[in-house]
Structure 1
């Protein structure tokens, strides 16, 4: 018997130990795998127990008298309510409870029974599938957040009891949630969120039960149409979010609706009937639709409209009448559309700027539509990204009658290196409007276009540009800062234009220019006061068929690296003896078909690397003038020493030698006088007189020698 009593005492002690252990575990709240040891010692309102790896919580952890109103246990991914259905916490003061992204799988009848003052529950991003109808009978719930769970129906009857205080219900992202079968007390419900619930329609009958509905979020569903009267019984509804639904047309009736949002829908046209039954409308958000046209009277009934957002649509024009008649309008956003640059659009742009309607639009601080779309009177095609070839290394939009290309069209195309826009005869650049934004474009061609001026901003966003081909345009002017952003330029072709001069410092910052082609600019000439252009590395200079008359000592002074000069077919009459003094590396000098009377041999004798020197076709050259005989003989000797085959006819006409008896100081003086005076024969009365006197002396000596 004594042995039996001993066993009983041992069993009782064992049970007592188990009970004590369980009690200690509960008191410790079983905080596992955490480095945050003070989680359970937080009693200051609001209590933050987020990210504490809590798996259980003692229902009396905070005591009955501790003064806390809010408890946040979010991101405790292993935490779940007691599976035996008992209350998870008892507290008389707690008003708000949050456990977002926890491990909650179910809510039971008595889970919240110990929180009689609870008004707000947020259990978003959990794994809840069902909720008993009586789950909140002991609470005074006003806000219930259940987004991103797995709820289709709360329970078999799909109802929640004692919801007479509920003001907000959020069941968003519960796929296939059956909103329109939900039954509960709606008397105080003001806000409903059912975004991404896979709804396919809007039930006016169900919403008519929610008399106090003010805000409704039905975005990211499959709603493709709304009946005009679906919200007629919601007399205080002022906010409606229908974003990201396949709605093609809006036509609603509501005396109270102030904000309507239908971003990323399928709307293609706006007419007066769409909004004429919304007299209180203040904010309309229709970005990212397919809107192509807006009737001028669309907002005639919306006299209170102050915000209209239409960014990222397919508009090609915008009725200026809307700006003139919408007196309350304070914000209008129409960036990233497909506007055609017309004179009417210029009026719209000017009025838009004067009314200061740009506020927080899609383009941010840059790429505003009024700064991208210029005023163009010519007719033709305006090309945006959707109209252009896909991103590739080489893109051609030649011969398409382009008058405008969206500067942002290839901003994201890192492969683009060459753009060909040849034969668009109505295309030109415009002041303050960049041609294109690209970090990769290296070659740009627009030959036979309608370009008249290159502006400071034209190429300002093409920092990798290396080659420019603008032959056969109507270029008359180039801004002196036009290429400041294009420091990698190495080939420039402005042939066949109407340039008269280039800004001297146009290319002074460019260290890679090798070729500059200015052929067939019929008005282009050199001045006598400044160098033609300051370009220290250019190697090839082409200016055939231009209007060059004089080459002075300054003309090529700032192009010391020149190897080749092609300036044939110019009316050149005078070349200074020092014209090529600063071009010691010159190898080719083509002066064919000029109007020269004489070429001073002293201008080239120092050019040791000169391989080709052409003077053919100089029909006005004075081969037999005795005053020039010494110069021409020396020129012939010098040419014969070069391996040039372009002067055969010219060389044959040059004299072979100078009779020694005819050469005198007077003759040399005359030659020098001729060289100095040049084609204008001295340019002064004293110069002309001196030359005539010297020439008469020379002729007299020549006659005496002949007799």
Structure 2
């Protein structure tokens, strides 16, 4: 018997037949007149249908209606994507020759009329992307010929009806993106024609029934983002010769990853991430040579990374982050993966140096190795990763200077090297080739020297984070060229500001700026009045212990969205008059808003009280 994989619909034997316009309903075949009456029960709910579904034309020429060639009856009704807001009319139960009913991507709501159970010829139902609520009615289990049922993206609650297991012809079952709870019915093992079982993003609990893994026709098992528990059967792939997708991520599954998975040799997608699997990654996983996505992150896996993974040459995405995998990484195992684009191994216990062989994984767009125990230098061979967009190596123990070649990767958008032991100085010519750079994180290192003026050429930068280093010299006065800048973090360095012009004045051109943090630098100057012209979206401004002197400009009160302002540890004075509306009536304590203002204002009041008291004593 020929197998059918469903996507959206259409049945080849359904064609549109246009009948001649009849002078009266009495001259039409009575059965077609019945269909017409049933459909007109919905017509008044939509202007589109009201103008198209009229008595002046044949039912079979109406929009969304398809009639059978063999019988002058409505065989398919496709009202998808019409913005219809209505309940399903009970009259639809009279469409007795209906084979396909597609109401997807509308605003249908309310209960399903029990009359739908009379549509015994139905093979295709799609009610996805609507506003249906309540329990899934068991009446769907009374449609013996049903092959395709999609109820996803609604607001169904309750358990999955066991009666659905009566649909022995069912090939496609999609119940994702609802609020279903309870267990997966063990009776589903009777669905021996099922090819796709997708119940993602619900609240299902309990173990996955072992009978599911005995449905030999299954191609897709997608149960991710539920609350499923228990372990996977050790022989789970014994009867799944056609399985291509196994998606079980973000559940509460535990135990070992079965080595028997290698018998699901046709797998393209294996998602087991963010569960509680333990033990080692089975070396047999290397036999899944068709895999394109392997997601094992967020578990309790240990041991080492098996070399056999290198046999999966078709791999596009590999993630084993947030585990306890140890040992060094032999990047040679990835060099034959000509399509590998994403490699995420962060927050493990990897040790050793970053091998120069990393430059052989030339199609990488994302490489995440942060939060491990890597040591040694950053290989210059990273420059060979011509497609790299994101490189995260933070929170390791890498040393030496940052290879200037990194800044020559033209596709690089995010570079995160913070929390290492890097030293040296930054290259003089930043963003000469990497004009795409959007986020640069170099904090908590020992980088010294000046911040190159060429940083102002990185016109796409949104985040520049350089705190807790040994930078010295002037803060570049042309940072305002970074018009997209949102966060600037320079605290705990040895930076100063140019005497001729303030970098703060330049930053008034950065209209997206939300965070400006440069505490603990010997800036030795005044806060310019232009501070009041900073972005109206600025919410954090901290400049404590920065050797500012002079008056606090009243213009700082223009920063109406300020949530955190810290000017403590300086030698600042309040202006004599600060208008109430400029202070925005902020609380002194709540969220540390204008903390310095409140403190100094209190101090001035106390000083005034002491002065008055002293004058009184002198009299």
Q: Normalising by structure 2, report the TM-score.
A: 0.51
Q: Give the structure 2 partner of residue 451 of structure 1.
A: 524
Q: Give the structure 2 partner of residue 369 of structure 1.
A: 465
Q: Give the structure 2 partner of residue 677 of structure 1.
A: none
Within the alignment, does 1:272 sit opposite 2:355 as a pair? yes
Within the alignment, does 1:232 sit opposite 2:313 as a pair? no
Within the alignment, does 1:168 sit opposite 2:245 as a pair? yes
**Gap runs ≥5 in structure 1:** 1-26, 28-34, 379-405, 411-420, 496-505, 513-563, 565-586, 588-610, 612-642, 644-707
Q: State the shift of 1:298 in Å.
A: 5.0
For residue 54 of structure 1, the aligned residue among 135, 151, 157 is 135
Within the alignment, does 1:79 sit opposite 2:131 as a pair? no
Q: State the shift of 1:368 in Å.
A: 1.7
For residue 111 of structure 2, the aligned residue among 32, 37, 62 is 37
Q: Give the structure 1 partner of residue 330 of structure 2.
A: 251
Within the alignment, does 1:192 sit opposite 2:260 as a pair? no
Q: Give the structure 1 partner of residue 450 of structure 2.
A: none
CA shift in 2, pair 1:209/1:434, >3 Å = farther
- Deviation string 1:305-353 (CA, Å, 9 cap, x unpaired) is 52232275467875133326x65x4114235836999982262xx4136
Contact (CA 8 Å) 1:293, 1:317: kept in 2 or not?
no
Q: Secondary structure at the match of 2:188?
A: coil
Q: Secondary structure at the match of 2:210?
A: coil
Q: State the shift of 1:174 in Å.
A: 3.4
Q: Secondary structure at the match of 1:376?
A: strand
Q: Give the structure 2 partner of residue 351 of structure 1.
A: 430
CA shift in 2, pair 1:68/1:193, >3 Å = closer
Q: State the shift of 1:97 in Å.
A: 2.5
Contact (CA 8 Å) 1:440, 1:464: kept in 2 or not?
yes
Contact (CA 8 Å) 2:252, 2:275: kept in 1 or not?
yes
Q: Secondary structure at the match of 2:311?
A: coil
Q: State the shift of 1:168 in Å.
A: 1.0
CA shift in 2, pair 1:250/1:367, >3 Å = same
**Larger Rg: 1 or 2?**
1
Within the alignment, does 1:295 sit opposite 2:377 as a pair? yes
Give, in whole Å, the separation in 1 of the partners of 2:557 and 2:153. Answer: 57
Contact (CA 8 Å) 1:239, 1:259: kept in 2 or not?
yes
Give, in whole Å, the separation in 1 of the partners of 2:286 and 2:542. Answer: 63
CA shift in 2, pair 1:301/1:210, >3 Å = farther
Within the alignment, does 1:306 sit opposite 2:388 as a pair? yes
Contact (CA 8 Å) 1:272, 1:295: kept in 2 or not?
no
Within the alignment, does 1:337 sit opposite 2:412 as a pair? no
For residue 208 of structure 1, the aligned residue among 286, 289, 294 is 286
Q: Secondary structure at the match of 2:308?
A: coil
Give, in whole Å, the separation in 1 of the partners of 2:144 and 2:568. Answer: 81
Contact (CA 8 Å) 1:62, 1:91: kept in 2 or not?
no
Q: Normalising by structure 1, report the TM-score.
A: 0.46
For residue 366 of structure 2, the aligned residue among 256, 261, 284 is 284
Give, in whole Å, the separation in 1 of the partners of 2:321 and 2:194. Answer: 36
Q: Give the structure 2 partner of residue 501 of structure 1.
A: none
Q: State the shift of 1:212 in Å.
A: 1.2
CA shift in 2, pair 1:343/1:491, >3 Å = closer
Q: Give the structure 2 partner of residue 500 of structure 1.
A: none
Give, in whole Å, the separation in 2 of the partners of 1:79 and 1:275. Answer: 49
Within the alignment, does 1:261 sit opposite 2:344 as a pair? yes
Give, in whole Å, the separation in 1 of the partners of 2:141 and 2:557. Answer: 73
User: What pairs with 1:299-448 in structure 2 (closer than 5 Å)?
Assistant: 299=381, 302-310=384-392, 313=395, 319-323=402-406, 327=409, 329-334=410-415, 337=418, 344-345=425-426, 347=428, 350-352=429-431, 355-359=434-438, 366-369=462-465, 376-377=472-473, 408=489, 428-429=496-497, 431-432=502-503
Q: Secondary structure at the match of 1:199?
A: strand
Deviates more, 1:315-324 or 1:242-251: 315-324
Contact (CA 8 Å) 2:191, 2:215: kept in 1 or not?
no
Q: Secondary structure at the match of 1:282?
A: coil
Contact (CA 8 Å) 1:335, 1:368: kept in 2 or not?
no
Q: Secondary structure at the match of 1:240?
A: strand
- Deviation string 1:62-111 (CA, Å, 9 cap, x unpaired) is 452x78553438764432443xxx76242746523225642342543x52
Q: Give the structure 2 partner of residue 158 of structure 1.
A: 235
Contact (CA 8 Å) 1:57, 1:88: kept in 2 or not?
no
Q: Secondary structure at the match of 2:134?
A: coil
Give, in whole Å, the separation in 2 of the partners of 1:130 and 1:319. Answer: 49
Give, in whole Å, the separation in 1 of the partners of 2:342 and 2:472. Answer: 37
Contact (CA 8 Å) 2:291, 2:315: kept in 1 or not?
yes
Q: State the shift of 1:164 in Å.
A: 1.6
Q: Would you tell me which structure has more helix in proportion to its own residues?
A: 2
Q: Give the structure 2 partner of residue 180 of structure 1.
A: 258
- Deviation string 1:448-476 (CA, Å, 9 cap, x unpaired) is x67267667789679999999959xxx9x
Contact (CA 8 Å) 1:279, 1:303: kept in 2 or not?
yes
Give, in whole Å, the separation in 1 of the partners of 2:309 and 2:273. Answer: 18
- Deviation string 1:28-82 (CA, Å, 9 cap, x unpaired) is xxxxxxx922476789842248763326513544452x78553438764432443
The Cα RMSD (Å) is 5.7
Give, in whole Å, the separation in 1 of the partners of 2:174 and 2:466. Answer: 50
Q: Would you tell me which structure has more strand in proportion to its own residues?
A: 2
Q: Give the structure 1 partner of residue 195 of structure 2.
A: 118
Q: Give the structure 1 partner of residue 555 of structure 2.
A: 484
Deviates more, 1:49-58 or 1:358-367: 358-367
Give, in whole Å, the separation in 2 of the partners of 1:456 and 1:372. Answer: 28
CA shift in 2, pair 1:360/1:367, >3 Å = closer
Give, in whole Å, the separation in 2 of the partners of 1:340 and 1:466. Answer: 26
Give, in whole Å, the separation in 1 of the partners of 2:578 and 2:154. Answer: 60
**Gap runs ≥5 in structure 2:** 1-92, 94-108, 117-121, 443-459, 475-486, 508-512, 559-564, 581-607
CA shift in 2, pair 1:70/1:94, >3 Å = farther
Contact (CA 8 Å) 2:291, 2:314: kept in 1 or not?
yes
- Deviation string 1:624-648 (CA, Å, 9 cap, x unpaired) is xxxxxxxxxxxxxxxxxxx9xxxxx
Give, in whole Å, the separation in 2 of the partners of 1:341 and 1:453. Answer: 33
Deviates more, 1:116-125 or 1:257-266: 116-125
Give, in whole Å, the separation in 2 of the partners of 1:182 and 1:297. Answer: 38
Give, in whole Å, the separation in 2 of the partners of 1:465 and 1:183. Answer: 54
